[in-house]
Chains A and B, each alone.
Chain A
Amino acid sequence: MRVTSSSTGTLALAGAWALLVVLTLGSLGVGRSLHASAWLTPIVAAIVWLKCTLIARYFIEANRAHPFIQWALRLFIVFVPIWLLLTAWLGERIAGWTTL
């Protein structure tokens, strides 16, 4: 199996980069327009997950990587969105559980 640029071609990389830029700029707009809204956190969590998945899929080529690498990436990428949702919905409980 020889890996060539056709596996993740220049166009695919440029497309992923363009989407990442759009998501970055879009997230700024979302942050400002949904200020203090309950929807802000789930949307930001989804954007974080999507941006990291794009990096893993197109730049790191995780879809063809060893299963350990795939799982390490998946776990790390889902880690922050889960924390975001937990803090938004169970913030006071988490504060209670982590009070010394």
Chain B
Amino acid sequence: MLPAILTPSSCLSLIAAAPAMPGALPPAGDAGRLPTAHDGPPRLDTPAASGRIPGNKGIWVGITCVFVEFAVLFSVYFVSRAHFPTDFEAGHARLSLVAGTTITLLLLTSSLLIALSVNAIRDGKRRQSIGWLIGGLVLALGYPVAKYLEFRWNLAHGIRGDSGIFFTVYYYLTLTHLVHGFWGILGMLWVLARNLVGAYSSAEYSGLEALASYWHVTDMIWLIIFSLCYVLV
């Protein structure tokens, strides 16, 4: 059973669950092959009948847990906002817009490079895939650095967790997201190592795609946090 907050070991084990699972992509050898009468009726769990699973089932169990976790956290944000609207309106304006925008651009671009890495491995271009993956990892590492600098800036400007309800909510939302960012970075290191040793190919890359799915969702959640904490002034 998965914990609500993924641990590094659980993330890595999900990403490492690379062998083909029902619903994952079939081997490249089946590419474009039309069904014949010998194939019998289509099975309901085949990709054609029910859609494919990006990565593997395990990572989507984890991602669903992350959805539930952040749905609860966002609900707390909105209930607090309904109770203290003026505190929230005043709080937004005190945060560093430069830090929030920098993190957003870092995560968006990192997400793009990871998606390009998946595309490259699908095309059988492993070296290119490794290159994109390293690029995505370098940008992803900028996230905790930017967050550290932002928190330093906050403290220098008297913005602490007990500075008001908005900042309490802001800190728990962003710190929880940062933890998920760390899991994603650890996952990137793992899939990079596996890619370097040739574990992925155009026929089998579910581990890399699982990491990509997790990272895109992490990116998506940050985009929401960015709008809630930095944009709504």
Interface of B is mostly: helix
CA–CA, A95 to B108, complex, Å?
34
Partner of A14, one of B63, B112, B233: B112
Chain B residues with CB below 8 A from A64, complex form: 51-52
Partner of B54, one of A44, A69, A84: A69
Chain A residues with CB below 8 A from B233, complex form: 31-32, 35
CA–CA, A36 to B233, complex, Å?
7
CA–CA, A70 to B217, complex, Å?
13
Inter-subunit contact B232/A31 (CB<8 Å): yes
List 19 interface pairs A-B (beta carbons < 8 Å), by A numbering: A2-B30, A2-B32, A8-B115, A24-B105, A24-B108, A28-B230, A31-B232, A44-B227, A59-B112, A60-B213, A65-B52, A66-B51, A77-B220, A84-B78, A87-B81, A92-B82, A94-B78, A94-B82, A98-B83
CA–CA, A47 to B78, complex, Å?
18
CA–CA, A47 to B74, complex, Å?
17
Inter-subunit contact B116/A13 (CB<8 Å): yes
CA–CA, A94 to B50, complex, Å?
39
Chain A residues with CB below 8 A from B67, complex form: 72, 75-76
Q: Which residues of A contact B (CB under 8 A)?
A: 1-5, 8-10, 13-14, 17, 20-21, 24-25, 27-28, 30-32, 35-36, 40-41, 44, 47-48, 51-52, 55-56, 58-61, 64-70, 72, 75-77, 79-80, 83-84, 86-87, 91-92, 94-95, 98-99
The 8 nearest A-B residue pairs measured at CB: A2-B31, A5-B119, A94-B82, A66-B51, A31-B231, A17-B112, A95-B82, A59-B216
Residues 106 to 128 of chain B near chain A (Cβ within 8 Å): 108-109, 111-112, 115-116, 119-120, 122-123
Residues 3 to 40 of chain B near chain A (Cβ within 8 Å): 23, 25-26, 28, 30-32
Q: Which residues of B contact A (CB under 8 A)?
A: 23, 25-26, 28, 30-32, 47-48, 50-54, 60, 63-64, 67, 70-71, 74-75, 78-79, 81-83, 85, 89, 97, 101, 104-105, 108-109, 111-112, 115-116, 119-120, 122-123, 212-213, 216-217, 219-220, 223-224, 226-228, 230-233
Inter-subunit contact A21/B108 (CB<8 Å): yes
Chain B min CB distance to A23 (Å)? 9
Inter-subunit contact A5/B122 (CB<8 Å): yes
If A10-B116, A59-B216, A91-B82 touch, whether A44 touches B23 (CB-CB below 8 Å) is no
